[in-house]
Amino acid sequence: MTWRGSTTTGDRIFACLPYLIPLMEGVLFGEYLFEKFPILGQLCMPLIILRFQIYNSIPFASLIIFMALFLGVVRNQNIAHFIRFNAMQAILLDIVLFLCYLILPIFLKALPIALVGETLFNMVFIATVAACGYAVVQSLLGRYAEMPVVSEAVYMQVR
């Protein structure tokens, strides 16, 4: 059941696509798990390759993608609310990951215990995969993925 009308199959597929962005960012936090479980690294290899091809070949690619999604999708009233909601939720998840990427190295310098760092990186990676997986499944079912705090902020942004 959707909040504002029904969703088509195309809407459901397009609503899933923005979640590739936080998944590509979250792969950076999976390095310790990839060392311990090489098969997991092989499963994530397409995301790793895609991330480095896009972000290394295009200067300011993350900023360009953010602006394109925010201005072209989230603020576009002609696009279905379902797609705009999911795009904004993916953007907010990406912002949270960016903040983790900035804060964790500072936090890890204060705590020189390697196990703490590995655990934090693993938690961020697993949380990212879980959140994006949940959102994609809900989107494919035509439902709004309700995540505490994140969805509330999305509802404030997307009208």
Residue 71 lies in a domain: yes
Residue 1 lies in a domain: no
Domain count, the chain: 1
Residue 2 lies in a domain: no
Residue 84 lies in a domain: yes
pLDDT at 147 over 80: yes
Assigned token pair, 49: 């390759």
Q: Dump pLDDT digits (tens) for 2-26.
A: 456 688 999 999 999 999 999 999 9
What stretch of H or E contains 91? helix 81-110
Contact status, residue 23 vs residue 136, Cβ threshold 8 Å: no
Residue 42 lies in a domain: yes
**How many whole angstroms separate alpha carbon 68 and alpha carbon 62?**
10
What mean pLDDT comes out for the span 111-126?
Answer: 87
Residue 113 lies in a domain: yes
* Phi, psi (rounded to 5 degrees) for 5: 90, -175
Residue 32 lies in a domain: yes
What DSSP string describes 65-83? HHHHHIIIIIT-TTS-HHH
Q: What is the pTM of this model?
A: 0.89
Q: Dump pLDDT digits (tens) for 19-60.
A: 999 999 999 999 999 999 999 999 999 988 988 888 888 888
Contact status, residue 47 vs residue 24, Cβ threshold 8 Å: yes
Residue 110 lies in a domain: yes
Range of the domain at 142: 9-157
